[in-house]
């Protein structure tokens, strides 16, 4: 992997692997201890025993460490962990006033689209769903609607569309809109949207950041901790209490140590699978930004200099029945939703979303894990034949 990004005097790979090099000050432990207490005692004169520890909703050292590692990895000014990706998205959206305007990218993660539609209807917020990977279309929409907030997802799930973050950031700047980028499919080691002008980057840390399919978490990071919107998000998290617990934060930090290594292997495996599928007689189309035939391959290479990630979709020749047959024959790929874990997963999105969202019935989405490539390609080969 070409990790050229340094934070201070170290590459982000080194910082993530060493969890910022933190040693437990009490014992010298190279792994941080789990502090489970929710409250912290005071001295007889009522002063705090530790000035940094009063009540666990805010004062959780493991949450602080996880936030610090991810904030540095994104090259951000500040970052906050949430109990899930959706909780992070909800915290951002709640900053938009009643009667305001939001643009979200169309055909993205279905959970986002569904929640934002309901939220905007309840709050009398005008919602426009625009295909942000078409730069001229999103520029025109920003100009016409003058939104408070623009939310893009790149690469998008399950279409693998790539949005030009720099161009959209510029258009947002012109109308004072906040640009939020869901960078879940890329992870902080493959792409840093703030460097291209996004105001806030969002992750479902449930996916590759944790990487072991055993923690739900979300993350937001900002380019400007003093901005009004970030202050509102920080206050909302503090006052409304959307925090993760000590054990989840500990697992997250443990999982993150191998994030650079996992993303490297996943990207390598996904690339080989994309090439295999691209040449297969039973396959109609492969959607993967690493392929030279992907319409935004050049842009993806610019925005994701370290690899193209684990998410990949392909369309089989045939209908829903054919696609479901292929899914049912897979053995190494497990039939389950989610992505970014060490184990490879397969998902038939049309079975989940139906006709309403436009996902083709012959589309199969893969989350490529870190298993041996021959076993993964062998499994796909037997399922397709």
- Cβ proximity to ligand PLP: between 81 and 380 the closer is 81
Residue 60 or 367 having the CB closest to ligand PLP: 367
Task: Report helix, strand or coil for 170.
Answer: helix
Q: Contact between 204 and ligand PLP (CB under 6 A)?
A: yes
- CB of 153: closest distance to ligand PLP in angstroms? 5
Kindly state the smallest distance separating residue 28's Cβ from ligand PLP, in Å.
34
Binding to ligand PLP by residue 206, rule CB under 6 A? yes
Dihedral angle sign, alpha carbons of residues 86, 230, 203, 18: negative
CB of 267 to ligand PLP, least distance (A): 17
| One residue of 63, 86, 165, 312 binding ligand PLP per CB under 6 A | 86
In this structure, what are the phi and psi dihedrals at residue 347, rounded to the nearest 5 degrees? -145, 135
**CB–CB of 202/183 below 8 Å?**
yes
Q: Which of 79, 85, 255, 289 binds ligand PLP (CB under 6 A)?
A: 85
DSSP characters for 357-373? T---TTEEEEE--SS-H
Q: Phi and psi at residue 229, in whole multiples of 5°?
A: -65, -40
- Token pair, residue 301, equals 């290479």
Q: Which stretch binds ligand PLP (CB under 6 A): 56-64, 95-103, 199-207, 341-349?
A: 199-207
Q: What size, in residues, is the chain? A: 385
**Residue of 252, 215, 212 lying closest to 370 (CA atoms):** 212
Residue of the chain from 60, 71, 157, 208 that contacts ligand PLP (CB under 6 A):
157
| 3-class SS of residue 202 | strand
Which span (43-51, 107-115, 268-276, 323-331) binds ligand PLP, by CB under 6 A? 107-115
Closest to ligand PLP by CB, 109 vs 333, is 109
Residue nearest to ligand PLP according to CB distances in the complex: 85
Pick between residue 220 and residue 339 the one whose CB is nearest to ligand PLP: 339
Please enumerate in sequence order all residues whose Cβ is within 8 A of that of 330, keeping only pairs 6 or more positions apart, or say none: 346, 379, 380, 383
Quick check: 142 and 181 in contact, CB under 8 A? no
Stretch that binds ligand PLP, among 108-116, 126-134, 261-269, 318-326 (CB under 6 A): 108-116
Residues 295-354 that bind ligand PLP (CB under 6 A): 339
CB of 214 to ligand PLP, least distance (A): 12
Token pair in block for residue 286? 């492969």
Count Cα neighbours of 79 within 13 Å in the Cβ-side half-sphere.
25
Residues 137-156 that bind ligand PLP (CB under 6 A): 153
User: What 3-state DSSP class applies to 283?
Assistant: strand
Instruction: Quote the least distance from Cβ 18 to ligand PLP, whole Å.
Output: 25
| Residue that is written with structure tokens 């870190």 in the block | 370
Work out whether 184 is an interface residue with ligand PLP (CB under 6 A): yes
Contacts with ligand PLP by CB under 6 A lie at 84-86, 109, 111-112, 153, 157, 182, 184-185, 204, 206-207, 216, 218, 339
């Amino acid at each position: 992997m070409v990790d050229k990004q340094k934070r201070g005097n170290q590459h982000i790979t080194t910082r993530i692997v060493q969890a910022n090099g933190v040693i437990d000050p009490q014992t010298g432990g190279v792994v941080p201890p789990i502090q489970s207490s929710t409250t912290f005692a005071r001295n007889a004169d009522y002063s705090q025993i530790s000035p940094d520890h009063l009540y666990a909703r805010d004062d959780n050292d493991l949450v602080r460490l996880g936030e610090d590692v991810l904030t540095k990895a994104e090259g951000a000014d500040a970052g906050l962990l949430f109990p899930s990706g959706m909780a992070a998205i909800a915290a951002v959206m709640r900053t938009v006033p009643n009667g305001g305007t939001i643009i979200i990218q169309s055909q993205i993660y279905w959970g986002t689209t569904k929640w934002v539609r309901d939220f905007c209807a309840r709050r009398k917020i005008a919602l426009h769903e625009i295909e942000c990977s078409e730069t001229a279309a999103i520029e025109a929409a920003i100009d016409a609607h003058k939104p408070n907030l623009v939310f893009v997802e790149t690469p998008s799930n399950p279409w693998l569309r790539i949005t030009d973050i720099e161009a959209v950031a510029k258009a947002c700047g012109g109308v004072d809109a906040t640009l939020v980028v869901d960078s879940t499919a890329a992870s902080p080691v493959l792409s840093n949207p703030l460097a291209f002008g996004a105001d806030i980057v969002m992750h479902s840390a449930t996916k590759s950041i944790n990487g072991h399919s055993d923690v739900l978490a979300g993350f937001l990071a900002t380019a400007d901790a003093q901005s009004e919107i970030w202050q509102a998000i920080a206050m909302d998290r503090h006052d409304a209490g959307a925090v993760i617990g000590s054990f989840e934060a500990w697992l997250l930090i443990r999982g993150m140590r191998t994030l650079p290594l996992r993303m490297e292997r996943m990207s390598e495996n996904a690339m080989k699978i994309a090439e295999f599928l691209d040449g297969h007689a039973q396959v109609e189309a492969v959607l993967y930004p690493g392929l030279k035939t992907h319409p935004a391959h050049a842009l993806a290479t610019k925005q994701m200099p370290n690899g193209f990630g684990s998410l990949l979709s392909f369309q089989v020749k045939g209908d829903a029945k054919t696609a479901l047959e292929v899914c049912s024959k897979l053995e190494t790929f497990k039939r389950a939703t989610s992505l970014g874990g060490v184990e490879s997963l397969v998902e038939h999105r049309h079975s989940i979303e139906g006709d309403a969202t436009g996902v083709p019935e012959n589309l199969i989405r893969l989350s490529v894990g870190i298993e041996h490539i021959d076993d993964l390609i062998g499994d796909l080969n037997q399922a397709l034949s």
